[in-house]
């Protein structure tokens, strides 16, 4: 599953949010994910900026207010996703936001890294009995263990995403090793929520067993959005989706080297070698080692058969580079 995270890339524009849905659908992703912010329910005017943006918003609270959509607008976005064959997802950042999304019929909760310690929100998610996808970027292993055990003991379908809350995230901080560690520790599905601004960690995560991949999307590298450096473009998203499908097909079809496949046998005939005459050989000639050479293509006698050919006589004329076969030499001496 590839989730394309719009977050606040729409900058409060409903039109832009709809445009992102089309970009995500055209790229072939599985889901379009937003963030549902209700300023008065999650923030105060004292909330600090993560990155101060060149906007008219005086406070982070003002910014969250500008990012809000009305419930009717969320319904439009949900329906647009459904019509384009996408799962509609959104991370709630308050119980009020969760209730709104629940009314919209959101099927899977995404618990953002910063909300893992939000006990009332986690409890509200658990009460719905819906699956949860949890990001780990701002929690220690012991903190995660407490919350994850609570979720699992509540018989909730859980996916844990390795996440590093650096924007953009450098390669040495991606924590790919944690993907397999999480799976071993909690026995649940795992994945990655990546902020590198590239497709590389996601592809690597897929080879490690990631069932869910979440990436931020930006309409353009020239976008001034705060998440743009941590996001990938629609074209990169399309490449990522293709790569994930390729890797998934490879993983689901393990190779068996006890025998060669039909295609490999054909390639072996093309790339392999056969014993051929090193020069023209007349009838009656006794074969010596110097008469033989190993050349492409395959399909004839192997070099390991050389010992059985020495001292046998030619019974039919053999031209240079012709295959040496049992049909053009005498029977082996008993």
| % of residues, the chain, pLDDT over 90 | 81
Residue in this structure with the two tokens 């996001």, named with its chain if needed: 231
CB 108 within 8 A of CB 125: no
For the chain, what is the largest distance between any 2 Cα atoms, rounded to a whole number of angstroms? 103
- Residue 168: asked if its preceding bond is cis (omega within 30°), the reply is yes
CB 131 within 8 A of CB 156: yes
For the domain spanning 262-328, the CATH number is 3.90.1210.10
Distance in angstroms between the alpha carbons of the first and the last residue of the chain: 66
What pLDDT is attached to residue 51?
Answer: 67
Question: What residues form DSSP beta bridges with 4?
Answer: 32, 215
Superfamily of domain 2-252: Aldolase class I (3.20.20.70)
What pLDDT is attached to residue 52?
Answer: 64
* pLDDT averaged over every residue in the chain: 94
- Any residues with CB less than 8 A from the CB of 118 and at least 6 apart, and which? none
Query: At 58, is the pLDDT very low, low, confident or very high (cuts 50, 70, 90)?
Result: confident
Q: Is the pLDDT of residue 85 over 70?
A: yes
Residue in this structure with the two tokens 């609570």, named with its chain if needed: 150
What pLDDT is attached to residue 59?
Answer: 85
Among left, alpha and beta (phi > 0; psi -120 to 50; other), residue 42 is alpha
Of 17, 65, 63, 58, the closest CA to residue 41 belongs to 65
Distance between CA atoms of residues 176 and 158, nearest Å: 19
pTM surpassing 0.75?
Answer: yes
Q: CA dist 113 to 137, 151, 160, Å?
A: 5, 15, 11
Distance between CA atoms of residues 91 and 42, nearest Å: 13
Average pLDDT over residues 282-306: 95
What pLDDT is attached to residue 50?
Answer: 66
Kindly state the tokens that stand for 165: 């809350």
What digits encode the pLDDT tens for the residues 149-203? 999 999 999 999 999 999 999 999 999 999 999 999 999 999 999 999 999 999 9
Q: Is the pLDDT of residue 47 over 80?
A: no
Average pLDDT over residues 17-38: 97
What digits encode the pLDDT tens for the residues 278-293? 999 999 999 999 999 9
For residue 274, count other CB atoms closer than 10 A to its CB: 20
What pLDDT is attached to residue 192?
Answer: 99
Distance between CA atoms of residues 61 and 55, nearest Å: 13
Domain boundaries, the chain: 2-252, 262-328
Distance between CA atoms of residues 99 and 121, nearest Å: 10
What pLDDT is attached to residue 190?
Answer: 99
Q: Is the pLDDT of residue 245 over 60?
A: yes
Query: At 325, is the pLDDT very low, low, confident or very high (cuts 50, 70, 90)?
Result: very high
What pLDDT is attached to residue 222?
Answer: 83
Average pLDDT over residues 113-120: 96
């Amino acid at each position: 599953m590839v989730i394309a995270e719009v977050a606040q890339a729409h900058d409060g524009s409903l039109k832009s949010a709809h445009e992102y849905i089309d970009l995500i659908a055209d790229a072939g992703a599985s889901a379009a994910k937003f963030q549902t912010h209700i300023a008065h329910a999650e923030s105060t005017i004292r909330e600090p900026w993560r990155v101060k943006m060149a906007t008219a918003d005086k406070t982070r609270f003002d910014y969250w207010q500008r990012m809000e959509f009305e419930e009717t607008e969320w319904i439009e976005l949900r329906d647009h996703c459904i019509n384009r064959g996408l799962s509609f997802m959104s991370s709630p950042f308050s119980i009020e936001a969760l209730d709104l999304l629940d009314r919209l019929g959101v099927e899977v909760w995404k618990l953002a890294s910063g909300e893992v310690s939000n006990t009332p929100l986690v409890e509200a998610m658990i009460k719905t009995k819906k699956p949860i996808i949890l990001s780990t970027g701002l929690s220690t292993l012991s903190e995660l263990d407490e919350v994850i055990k609570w979720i699992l003991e509540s018989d909730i379908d859980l996916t844990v995403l390795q996440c590093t809350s650096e924007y953009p995230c450098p390669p040495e901080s991606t924590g790919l090793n944690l993907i397999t560690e999480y799976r071993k520790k909690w026995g649940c599905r795992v994945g990655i929520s990546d902020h590198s601004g590239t497709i590389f960690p996601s592809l690597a995560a897929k080879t490690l067993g990631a069932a869910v991949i979440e990436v931020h999307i930006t309409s353009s590298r020239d976008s001034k959005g705060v998440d743009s450096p941590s996001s990938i473009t629609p074209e990169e998203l399309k490449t990522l989706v293709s790569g994930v499908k390729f890797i998934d097909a490879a993983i689901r079809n393990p190779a068996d080297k006890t025998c060669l496949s039909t295609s490999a046998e054909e390639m072996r005939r093309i790339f392999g070698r056969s014993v051929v005459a090193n020069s023209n050989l007349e009838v009656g000639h006794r074969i010596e080692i110097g008469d033989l050479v190993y050349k492409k293509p395959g399909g004839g006698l192997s070099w390991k058969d050389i010992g059985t050919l020495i001292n046998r006589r030619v019974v039919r004329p053999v031209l240079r580079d012709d295959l040496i076969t049992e049909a053009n030499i005498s029977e082996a001496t008993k």
